[in-house]
Structure 1
Amino acid sequence: MKIWTIANQKGGVGKTTTTVTLGGLLAKQGHNVLLVDMDPHASLSYYFGIDSEELSHSIYDIFANPSGLSDDKVLDCLCSSKLDSLFILPSTMALATLDRSMGNQMGMGLVLKKALKQIESQFDYVLIDCPPVLGVLMVNALAACEKVVVPVQTEFLALKGLDRMMHTMAIMGKMLGREFDTIIVPTMFDRRINAAIAAHKQLLLDYKEQTWMGMIPVDTRFRDASQMQAPASIVYPKARGVFAYQKLLNTLDSDD
């Protein structure tokens, strides 16, 4: 089971779009895929039409009782999607209370890793959509994964946010005694805008070794797909944005 975390400490850079589109591509290839929503705002859950506030189980249950984890308990929290092999572990607003209520408890940074271990025989890939805030949720997502995908909008304010994210991963790496296998993904690129071209050049100057050499273009099909509650890779397979994510997926898989 491969576990990839999609993270950035800046919001609005394409984390959920990246998670959903890559997940859809993997499911279309015949893999069993789990998408984990770690953001209390639950954008990933709502994308698939899941209102986690109305569910009897969500990812919060896993954190609320980490000592009682079993494969059945974790599987009970999952929701299905329109694709037979694509499942979602939904979020809930209650996750926002974790730092205050449980953040100082021993072992809270490894809850998600232990939960995924319980179901590793069920899935080929797990993609974790992170909140844009450093706290127990992002710590769990980073501790659980083998690879970190960092979407970065091609504009200068987003580059400043990237500096913060890379600093966070350096600190986390020291705490966990490991280096993160990181790939930075330029998103929302519009070649008609000079500022986007300049930001992309700066990104390559600052982080050439970690930055994917492709880019994800601005594509309205992503928004259209969200209204249909399905990955763009399924409903618009020939969209240019989907084509770009397929190239990214090829790179991610070839690195393993």
Structure 2
Amino acid sequence: MSKVIAIVNEKGGVGKTTTATNLAYLIGKQNKRVLLIDFDGQANATILIGNKNPNQITTTISTILNNIIDKNYIIEKEEVIIKNKGIDLIPSNANLFSLESKLTTIPFREYILKKLIDNIKGYYDYIIIDCMPQIGTPMINVMIASDSLIIPTQSEILSVKGLTELIRHYLMIKRVNEKLKIDGILITMDSKNTKTSKEVKKLLNSSFKENINIFNTVIPNSIKVAEANVYKQIICEYLPTNKVCKAYENLLKELIEIG
């Protein structure tokens, strides 16, 4: 049975794409069938996994969703998917930014992405969605189409405090998508044993631990992540022995245990 996991946070720069791409890569390494959907107009996952210039790609997630809206037609997955690094990728580009205004004008707008995912999920063990950093109709689409959420939060106090609004939206969507759950909150870019790091963990535990899982795995900070991206690679591809990749391996083990 396929599991659809969305990597979400309304705040940018918290490690969503790093988490989505490395998880997808590690799942693929286990000979599982994995689809990564780049649902962010910045298209960083497309650059890192597809090794493509997003502006030169003619068929993207935006194309698919527009076809569903305008023609009630779902493009054959072979027409859009880029296969690379053991991952099937549905790419994105800046055209996705214009989708929200279009979605606001149509009925059942919250279910457009679900139509796509329901059509293709039987082909995959895992579908990972790298979500754009904003709360709106696109993110509601993601939550309705997903089985679970991973919420990365940077190891900073303000980043943690910003989670409350996201959790509120999750609880609203759960009334519609009853199976939706939060697999966990993931601390990223952590500088171990600093005062800030300790305060972040303390705040997370006091604010959320009673109701929401907080992953035991903490993703450390490393300049090697940005270095890998320069070469259009992800850290687990560029330097598999790096502490960040090892942390993502541990995160995947936790996810498998969660089920």
1:210 to 187, 202, 213: 213
1:223 to 217, 222, 226: 226
1:59 to 58, 61, 72: 61
Return the alpha-carbon distance in structure 2 between the equivalents of residues 171 and 123 of structure 1. Answer: 28
Residue deviations 1:82-121, cap 9 Å, x none?
x2x2121111212111221222312222222221222223
Does structure 2 conserve the Cα–Cα contact (< 8 Å) formed by 1:50 and 1:90? no
Paired amino acid for 1:210: N
Return the alpha-carbon distance in structure 2 between the equivalents of residues 225 and 29 of structure 1. Answer: 22
Return the alpha-carbon distance in structure 2 between the equivalents of residues 172 and 162 of structure 1. Answer: 16
Return the alpha-carbon distance in structure 1 between the equivalents of residues 45 and 82 of structure 2. Answer: 12
Does structure 1 conserve the Cα–Cα contact (< 8 Å) formed by 2:148 and 2:180? no
Return the alpha-carbon distance in structure 2 between the equivalents of residues 15 and 146 of structure 1. Answer: 17
Return the alpha-carbon distance in structure 1 between the equivalents of residues 176 and 118 of structure 2. Answer: 21
Runs (4+) off by over 4 Å: none
- Structure 2 CA distance for partners of 1:120 and 1:177, relative to 1, 3 Å: closer
Does 2:202 match 1:201?
yes
Return the alpha-carbon distance in structure 2 between the equivalents of residues 31 and 249 of structure 1. Answer: 12
What does residue 111 of structure 1 align with?
A: 112
Does structure 1 conserve the Cα–Cα contact (< 8 Å) formed by 2:147 and 2:179? no
* Greater percentage in strand: 2
Return 5+ residue gaps in structure 2 as ranges.
none
Does structure 2 conserve the Cα–Cα contact (< 8 Å) formed by 1:28 and 1:234? no
Shift, 1:20, TM fit: 0.8
The farther-off stretch of 174-183 and 9-18 is 174-183
Return the alpha-carbon distance in structure 2 between the equivalents of residues 5 and 254 of structure 1. Answer: 18
Shift, 1:181, TM fit: 3.2
Return the alpha-carbon distance in structure 2 between the equivalents of residues 120 and 182 of structure 1. Answer: 19
Shift, 1:178, TM fit: 4.8
Return the alpha-carbon distance in structure 2 between the equivalents of residues 38 and 136 of structure 1. Answer: 12
Return the alpha-carbon distance in structure 1 between the equivalents of residues 123 and 167 of structure 2. Answer: 32
Return the alpha-carbon distance in structure 1 between the equivalents of residues 32 and 237 of structure 2. Answer: 14
Paired amino acid for 1:62: I
Does structure 2 conserve the Cα–Cα contact (< 8 Å) formed by 1:25 and 1:234? no
Does 2:172 match 1:171?
yes
SS at match of 1:141: helix
Residue deviations 1:35-75, cap 9 Å, x none?
111111112112233222211201111111111115x2x33
Shift, 1:177, TM fit: 4.2
The farther-off stretch of 147-156 and 96-105 is 96-105
Q: How does 1:78-93 map to 2 (within 5 A)?
A: 78-81=81-84, 83=85, 85-93=86-94
What does residue 10 of structure 1 align with?
A: 11
TM-score of the two chains, using structure 1 as the length reference: 0.92
Q: How does 1:31-46 map to 2 (within 5 A)?
A: 31-46=32-47
Residue deviations 1:199-246, cap 9 Å, x none?
121111111142112211112222222223233222311111111111
Return the alpha-carbon distance in structure 2 between the equivalents of residues 199 and 54 of structure 1. Answer: 41
Return the alpha-carbon distance in structure 2 between the equivalents of residues 225 and 103 of structure 1. Answer: 38
What does residue 25 of structure 2 align with?
A: 24
Return 5+ residue gaps in structure 1 as ranges.
none
TM-score of the two chains, using structure 2 as the length reference: 0.91
Return the alpha-carbon distance in structure 2 between the equivalents of residues 139 and 13 of structure 1. Answer: 20
Shift, 1:179, TM fit: 4.7
SS at match of 2:36: strand
Identity across matched positions, percent: 26
